Amino acid sequence: MPTLIRMTERADLISTGELAKRLGFTPRTIQRWRERGWITPAIVAPRSGRARWIEADVREQLRRVDLAEDDGE
């Protein structure tokens, strides 16, 4: 479930496409990671369902996934 964010973080919110560009993957890969529960958006727009991300948060979430795989989970 998306978390509440502080107003100061709103400027850090980026689209799925922008996140994909910054990480060097396709938007579809970002969507798959989200479907698998590996990453969670900062917010999801109620009407459109569009996700908005904070890049640093996603990078941390991916580090945790990588660490879990290294531990054999």
The CATH number given to whatever domain includes residue 21 is 1.10.1660.10
- The tens digit of pLDDT for each residue in 27-68 reads 999 999 999 999 999 999 999 999 999 999 999 999 998 877
d(CA 59, CA 73) in angstroms, rounded, equals 19
Phi, psi of 54, deg, nearest 5? -115, 115
Is it the case that residue 9 has pLDDT exceeding 90? no
Q: What is the mean pLDDT of residues 11-26?
A: 96
Number of domains in the chain: 1
pLDDT of residue 8: 47
Q: Give the residue numbers spanning the domain of 23.
A: 11-70
Give domain status of residue 60, yes or no: yes
Q: Please answer whether residues 65 and 38 qualify as being in contact, where contact means their C-beta atoms are separated by less than 8 angstroms.
A: yes
Is it the case that residue 2 has pLDDT exceeding 90? no
> Which of 32, 27, 37 minimizes the C-alpha distance to 64?
37
Q: What is the pTM of this model?
A: 0.78
| Cα Rg of the chain, angstroms | 12
Give domain status of residue 22, yes or no: yes
